[in-house]
């Protein structure tokens, strides 16, 4: 039996996908303690996990990318804010380690202070990433641009050039703050933002085909453990089972990013159409005057697993949580990617044939109505994608990868990631 400390970022979409794998670790006899959002501590405790709340300084550190006026500014401000939050999550991570005394730590890949402190500890550590992997490789398009994969000679040149440009762009936003955190821990400075993926014993990526491209040159310490959809237990809303037109689920980000116009546009686009529309606004509920009426039902939140049973399509911002849930359920998506990792996730959906992408700059009621029609026609392909995703997912994959941290190595060696031999190509 081992003691695992799990340190999450203060984002619901980064917490809930961990639950199935963590429960599997508990089932295998390990102790698991999750440091997480205060509002989720009770939910995870009821599910069977030991919890404590993140320090208010961590949850109070705002990510301001929703205020940006363009994609470049959105990228820079978002990454800068996440790294700056590391000044608070690092000390909070130290406090959690002191209180729980773990044998191994699992740290969210965007909790930059915590992952820096974890690297400095004499304990095995893993990054956990509930999203697609920003790592170069043969045939892998440069991260963040949502480009279609290409395997021809021109595609290889494109990828080589743009990967370098993307790494420089992210480096400009992230490296000053990351290296400030590292200097405070006595760690060598990064030369690339991708270096973080080579400094821990393992990286657990909570996705798999077809939400991840096939890879032939992945370092051995990076594990694809598959999507792990999970909703907190909740009573099923009776209205979902009432007879009527099929449901369209429309969701805004649970980690606020100013995407209320998606909900407003969807209501206008689908009002009086032969569908029922369930809109979940999450943190945008208090800033959006949109309310229920006609065939439109507006809620702050509904467990998506309940709604997906009866959905003909999902319209979303492209967050990994809702996209993976929709794909796992075989429901086609319309993805309107506002930023963050969403352009990459949208591209995976379209490449899998499981939905369509509509850029925010082209979001109009007519365009969204047409996109929903196109997505619904892809239902057979979405169901095929669901079968592939399920075949590459499961709590056992997560637990196996986590247990590898504490399993004794036959030759007594350490993971090469710990001494820097697993750095990213060109890093």
The CA-to-CA distance between both ends of the chain, in Å, stands at 37
Instruction: Tell me which CATH code domain 3-228+393-419 carries.
Output: 3.40.50.2000
Among 12-16, 109-113, 362-366, 414-418, where is mean pLDDT lowest? 414-418
pLDDT digits (tens, 9 = 90+) for 132-181: 999 999 999 999 889 999 989 999 999 999 999 999 999 999 999 999 99
Chain mean position to CA 324: 9
pLDDT of the residue at 423? 45
Can you tell me the distance from the alpha carbon of 246 to that of 240, in angstroms, rounded to the nearest whole number? 10
Token pair for 236: 């099923």
Domains of the chain: which residue ranges? 3-228+393-419, 238-390
Token pair for 80: 């800068």
Token pair for 229: 């959809």
pLDDT of the residue at 77? 62
CB 111 within 8 A of CB 200: no
Decide if pLDDT at 16 tops 90: yes
CATH of 238-390, one of 3.90.1570.10, 3.40.50.2000, 3.40.50.970, 3.30.2310.20: 3.40.50.2000
Alpha carbon dihedral 416, 421, 423, 425, in 10-degree steps, equals: -130
Model confidence at 421, in pLDDT bands (50, 70, 90)?
Answer: very low
pLDDT of the residue at 339? 79
Token pair for 241: 């089972």
Among residues 338, 341, 300, which one has the least CA distance to residue 324? Answer: 341
């Amino acid at each position: 039996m081992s003691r695992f400390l799990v340190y999450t970022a203060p984002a619901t979409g980064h917490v809930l996908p961990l639950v199935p794998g963590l429960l599997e670790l508990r089932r295998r006899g390990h102790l698991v303690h999750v440091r997480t959002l205060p509002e989720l501590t009770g939910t995870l405790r009821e599910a069977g996990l030991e919890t404590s709340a993140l320090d208010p300084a961590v949850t109070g550190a705002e990510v301001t990318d929703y205020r940006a006026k363009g994609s470049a500014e959105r990228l820079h401000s978002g990454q800068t804010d996440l790294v700056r939050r590391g000044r608070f999550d690092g000390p909070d991570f130290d406090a959690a380690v002191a209180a729980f005394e773990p044998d191994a730590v699992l740290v969210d890949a965007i909790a930059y202070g915590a992952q820096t402190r974890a690297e400095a500890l004499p304990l095995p550590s893993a990054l956990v990433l509930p999203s697609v992997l920003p790592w170069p490789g043969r045939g892998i398009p440069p991260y963040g641009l949502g480009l279609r994969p290409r395997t021809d000679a021109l595609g290889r040149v494109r990828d080589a050039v743009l990967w370098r440009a993307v790494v420089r762009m992210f480096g400009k936003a992230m490296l000053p703050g990351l290296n400030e955190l590292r200097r405070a821990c006595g760690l060598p400075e990064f030369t690339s933002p991708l270096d973080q993926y080579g400094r821990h014993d393992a990286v657990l990526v909570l996705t798999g085909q077809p939400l991840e491209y096939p890879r032939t040159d992945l370092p051995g310490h990076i594990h694809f453990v598959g999507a792990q959809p999970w909703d907190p237990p909740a009573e099923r809303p009776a209205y979902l089972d009432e007879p009527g037109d099929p449901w369209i689920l429309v969701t805004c980000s649970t980690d606020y990013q100013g995407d209320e116009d998606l909900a407003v546009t969807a209501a206008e686009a689908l009002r009086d159409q032969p569908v029922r529309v369930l809109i979940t606004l999450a943190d945008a509920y208090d800033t959006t005057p949109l309310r229920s009426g006609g065939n439109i039902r507006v809620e702050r939140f509904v467990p998506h697993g309940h709604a997906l049973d009866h959905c003909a399509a999902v319209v979303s911002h492209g967050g990994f949580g809702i996209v993976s849930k929709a794909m796992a359920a075989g429901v086609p998506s319309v993805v309107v990617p506002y930023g963050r990792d969403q352009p990459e996730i949208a591209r995976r959906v379209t490449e899998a044939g499981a939905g369509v992408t509509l850029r925010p700059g082209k979001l109009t009621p007519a365009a969204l109505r047409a996109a929903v029609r196109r997505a619904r026609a892809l239902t057979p392909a979405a169901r095929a994608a669901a079968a592939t995703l399920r075949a590459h997912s499961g709590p056992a994959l997560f637990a196996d990868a986590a247990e590898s941290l504490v399993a004794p190595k036959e030759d007594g060696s350490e993971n090469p990631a710990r001494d820097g031999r697993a750095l990213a190509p060109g890093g």
